[in-house]
A and B are shown apart, each in its own frame.
Chain A
Amino acid sequence: MGAVASEQAPLREGARRVAPLVIPAAAFGVSFGVLAAAAGMGTFAPIVMSATTFSGSGQFAAASILDEGGAVVAAIAAAVLLNSRYVPIGISVAPLFRGATWRRVLEGQLIVDESWAIANCGQGRFDRGLLIGAGLVLYPCWVLSTAVGAVAGDLLGDPEQLGLDAAFPALFLALLVPQLGSRRALAAAFGGAAVALALVPIAPAGLPIVAAAGVCLIGWRRA
């Protein structure tokens, strides 16, 4: 009992902290479903994609390219490049994962930008309960809202007319602000933003974000 309670309390805290993100995340999921259906992905494939990929920005990148009539290879490349940020993100939270390999693979799927930001305790440390708890709330929310968008998209109108494409950067900004506690963090944020914007016109889709992640290397400490 005691072990179960001590495992559950941080999960509940993660779920509580992620609650304000449920509505914007669902709005984003609905927008993805609508866009994917409009891009000719049908209703089932977008839902499967949300259940397996579980990363809004990567899925959006792929669906937008298909929607614009781009090649499948270009859609895959953009999403894969963009989602390769989960390699450094996964390394940053790796100490939180224990047990059998299959369990680490499964729990690792709950890593998503929002759960990762919520779990950040600063100084390079993250909280396992917050990460898993937030991920367990966001995952079903993401899959269900995608289904709503893909099935009932026609009834909902154009997500852009509702300004939903601005809701997501606003959410990320709200997650970013609490992380700017130090001058170094502020420098990393400005550096990341500058690198990404500089690369947008010249680099293939997805690469600007990966390159921006590299800015964190300014934090390397000499022994």
Chain B
Amino acid sequence: MTEVWITVAAVGVFTIAFKALGPVTLGGRTLPPRLLGVVELLPPALLAALVVTQVFASERDLVVDARAVGLLAAISALLLRAPILVVVVVAAAATALARALA
């Protein structure tokens, strides 16, 4: 149990510090124009990386499993301009169905 609390404390302290670093050191200042081009590309790069690792990574292996079916379902729903909630539900349902059938 002590190990659990060490994990909770360490991850918490680091994450709080990571989130606070920019606002505390650079708060209220305008970012230099050169940096705006970098900042602009941070959301697409990070979000895309989070999507593909959550779908195709299984520990240190790359796999195509039921989650990929969910991703395809989500892409289809987005192409049909479905609202976010529908996209998410469709993805979960497709993955659950693929698992049930497998």
Contacts and interface: CB of A to CB of B under 8 A. Distances in A.
Contact of A216 (B39, B51, B89): B39
A62 B83 CA distance: 31
Given A167-B91, A179-B44, A162 B75 contact: no
A220 B43 contact: no
B42 A213 contact: yes
Interface of A: 20-21, 23-24, 27, 40-42, 45, 48-49, 52-55, 57-59, 62, 66, 68, 72, 75-76, 79-80, 83-99, 101, 104-105, 107-109, 111, 113, 116-117, 120, 122-125, 160-177, 179-180, 184-186, 188-193, 195-197, 200-202, 205, 208-209, 212-223
A18 to B, nearest CB: 10
A75 to B, nearest CB: 5
A207 B12 CA distance: 18
A216 B44 CA distance: 8
Nearest to A75: B7
Contact of A186 (B7, B40, B44): B44
B38 interface: yes
B62 to A, nearest CB: 6
Given A48-B8, A166-B95, A90 B66 contact: no
B29 A167 contact: no
Given A80-B11, A218-B41, A167 B92 contact: yes
